[in-house]
Amino acid sequence: MTKNNQTPADEQGHTQESSDGIDVAHLAGLARLAIDADKTQAVSKDLQSIIGLIDVMQSVNTEGVEPLSHAFDGTARLRADDVTEHPDPEQFQRNAPATADHYYLVPRVVE
Amino acid sequence: MNEVLSLRDMSRALSQGDVSSVELVQDHLARINAIDSGLNSFITLTADAALAQAAAADESRAAGDQRPALGLPIAHKDIFCTAGVLTTAGSKMLSNFVAPYDATVVSKMADAGMVSLGKTNMDEFAMGSSNETSFFGSVANPWDHDRVPGGSSGGSAAAVAAGLVAGATGTDTGGSIRQPAALCGITGLKPTYGRVSRFGMIAFASSLDQAGPMTRSAEDAALMLAVMAGFDPKDSTSARREDHWLEDLAVNGIADLDRPLVIGLPEQYFQNSTGQECLQAAKQELEALGHQFKAVSLPHTDAAIPVYYVLASAEASTNLSRYDGVRFGHRCENPTSLQDLYERSREEGFGDEVKRRILTGTYTLSVGYFDAYYLKAQKIRRLIAQDFDAAFNDVDLLLTPTAPTPAFKRGQLTDDPVAMYQQDLYTVPTSLAGLPAMSLPCGFTDNLPMGMQLIAPAFREDLALGLAAQFQRQTDWHLKQAGDIN
């Protein structure tokens, strides 16, 4: 991102940028993505150009405009709290990398 | 199969007993096997299941079933869950995923008797405008194999353009039906948000994703739409509508327009695109049919791409957090901890563009940035929707280019994501406003097909289809085959 006064900062005044660009390692950690060290610079460069593109919208005057989160501004429908389906756990777990007794297995979390 | 038949042609031939569904499916499979190695438009072919479905359709017809879609071969974009069939979304992450259930679109089309030949290639998780981000390899444009078919529904577009199938499903988040339809010289319709159920459609950006038909003609698109559309209690954003014209579409085809239309030309859409002479000729054709044109302004058009890449990336980073290597999808080898399992499974399973969008979304949603990016984008989204509302006070439909350029060379934009994003310039605003829009062929530039876009008010697909059908009765751009022009 080109350093400009439109770049937003958080409450503590920090931006997601380090001295040579966006803090990719921090972002990747938030997104639970491992990024190869040799790719960090290229990823940072791409993100900077994307954020540069996005920052164009900061020039639009939105004072007094309500945000729109859904095309037709509707509220989600409620339905009766009835059980309508009885999925077969085995069928759904067939895609799981590791299971036992209908549980999903992951590396030990508590020693 | 020498002649490329439309869905309507096949429906007629089936009802007259000139051909059976099994014969049609066999012909289609033979053509796919002969041609698709050069295109790569299919990820999975389901030949045995298709022949079984076709045989069942023939049996049903022999017993008196005359429904118009019965026995017609189609294909599904590989973003729709298909029970018992590999469903990859073009990603390594789901390269081993066999869906446990059918998407509503898939079950509705099967219930209508349509026969799925297989699953078409696509940009990974529908993120791309060139089909080059697919884990299963890029797709060639049938008009020039060195060029891209557009994306993300590029496999469906290429398959229809090459005559491998007359109709295929697509999905459109920011232009993924319309842009590949334009680049491949076919007709593609993105219905109004909420018109077609999203249940079982692998999510990219849930407030924008919408499924629709990709065909050669508006008539075939209408037939498919009539089958795909409808309220679905399994999709909380599905719209309850009573549009009786929708039911008539399948049986009677597209009705003639009952009056000449006033068509708006948004000035912001005619500044930077190539091939404007095609649009000019189309405009003259429509004027000769009695329609009037009027200049309109959509002043927030320039902000649409930035707004889209904030909102779509934010929604994508949230939606794609479900791919964690635990319940389904790719898992890394020998994880040392739960954190390591998450991070390496995602690193290995996602491609570069998907990671870029996840990181962009993570950035704009992170603490302290939410108001400046996400909330700001949502506010501008309202301004963009209001621009369309104002325009539709004065006009019935809008006519614009679909994409800024014809099909570009493979590899031309892969190193410049921001340049690639500009492909969506004319399609993204309608997505943000949830409006229906379709692309239809309107000529050629340098022997490459060009598309024009018709944008309609919410839930008025009938207007766009009506005008498109009328245009296609007067012109033959939609009937051109790759090879006719070169």
- Residues in CB range of B163: below 8 A, 6 or more apart: B1, B4, B31, B481
Question: And the tokens for B212?
Answer: 């629709």
In chain B, residues with a C-beta closer than 8 Å to the C-beta of A60 are: 300, 303, 376, 380, 383
In chain B, residues with a C-beta closer than 8 Å to the C-beta of A78 are: none
The H-or-E segment that residue B443 falls in is: strand B437-445
Torsion over CA: B292, B293, B296, B302 (sign) = positive
The model's pLDDT over B352-397, given as tens digits with 9 standing for 90+, comes to: 999 999 999 999 998 888 899 999 999 999 999 999 999 999 999 9
Portion 350-379 of B in contact with A at CB < 8 A: 350, 355-356, 358-360, 362-364, 366-369, 371-373, 375-379
Mean per-residue pLDDT for B108-128?
Answer: 98
Distance from CA of A87 to the nearest CA of B (A): 9
In chain A, residues with a C-beta closer than 8 Å to the C-beta of B236 are: 76-77
Return the beta strands (E) in B268-425 as ranges. Answer: 292-296, 397-401
State how far the Cα of B253 lies from the Cα of B222, in Å rounded to an integer.
7
Distance from CA of B90 to the nearest CA of A (A): 17
Torsion over CA: B81, B82, B83, B86 (sign) = negative
B328 vs A14, A72, A96: nearest CB: A96
In chain A, residues with a C-beta closer than 8 Å to the C-beta of B437 are: none
State how far the Cα of B1 lies from the Cα of B12, in Å rounded to an integer.
17
Question: And the tokens for B464?
Answer: 């766009």
B236 vs A35, A77, A87: nearest CB: A77
The model's pLDDT over B74-103, given as tens digits with 9 standing for 90+, comes to: 999 999 999 999 999 999 999 999 999 999
Lowest mean pLDDT among A10-19, A91-100, B200-209, B280-289: A10-19
- Residues in CB range of A19: below 8 A, 6 or more apart: none
Q: What's the pLDDT at B442? A: 97
Provide the pairing of β-strand B292-296 with B262-266: parallel
The model's pLDDT over A90-110, given as tens digits with 9 standing for 90+, comes to: 888 999 999 999 999 999 988
Q: What's the pLDDT at B485? A: 53
State how far the Cα of B297 lies from the Cα of B429, in Å rounded to an integer.
13
Contact B417 A91 (CB under 8 A): no
Contact B346 A67 (CB under 8 A): no
Question: Mutate which of A7, A11, A41, A53 to disrupt the B interface (most B C-beta within 10 Å)?
Answer: A53
Q: What's the pLDDT at B368? A: 83
- DSSP per position, B148-196: ---SSSHHHHHHHHTTS-SEEEEEESSSTTHHHHHHHT-EEEEPPTTSB
Lowest mean pLDDT among B167-171, B233-237, B342-346, B399-403: B233-237
Confidence of residue A2 (pLDDT cuts 50, 70, 90): very low
A68 vs B310, B371, B378: nearest CB: B378
Question: And the tokens for A2?
Answer: 């080109």
Return the beta strands (E) in B310-395 as ranges. Answer: none
B324: Cα separation from own chain's centroid: 28
Confidence of residue A21 (pLDDT cuts 50, 70, 90): low
Bridge partner residues of B141 (DSSP): B144
In chain B, residues with a C-beta closer than 8 Å to the C-beta of A69 are: 207, 378
- The burial of B51, by beta-carbon neighbours within 10 Å (0-12 exposed, 13-18 middle, 19 or more buried), is given as middle
Backbone angles phi and psi of B374, in degrees to 5: -65, -50
Helix (H, G, I), strand (E, B) or coil at B120: strand
Q: Select from B353, B354, B377 the least CA-distant residue to B364.
A: B377
ipTM: 0.89
B321 contacts chain A (CB < 8 A): yes
The model's pLDDT over B20-75, given as tens digits with 9 standing for 90+, comes to: 999 999 999 999 999 999 999 999 999 999 999 999 999 999 999 999 999 999 99
Would you name the residues of B annotated as active-site residues?
77, 152, 176
State how far the Cα of B220 lies from the Cα of B66, in Å rounded to an integer.
17
pLDDT at B451 over 70: yes
Helix (H, G, I), strand (E, B) or coil at B444: strand
- What amino acid is encoded at B337 in this protein? S
Confidence of residue B486 (pLDDT cuts 50, 70, 90): very low
pLDDT at B278 over 50: yes
Question: And the tokens for B47?
Answer: 């030949």
Share of chain B above pLDDT 70, in %: 99
State how far the Cα of B395 lies from the Cα of B294, in Å rounded to an integer.
8
Contact B207 A70 (CB under 8 A): yes
- Residues in CB range of B223: below 8 A, 6 or more apart: B7, B8, B11, B68, B69, B167, B249, B250, B253
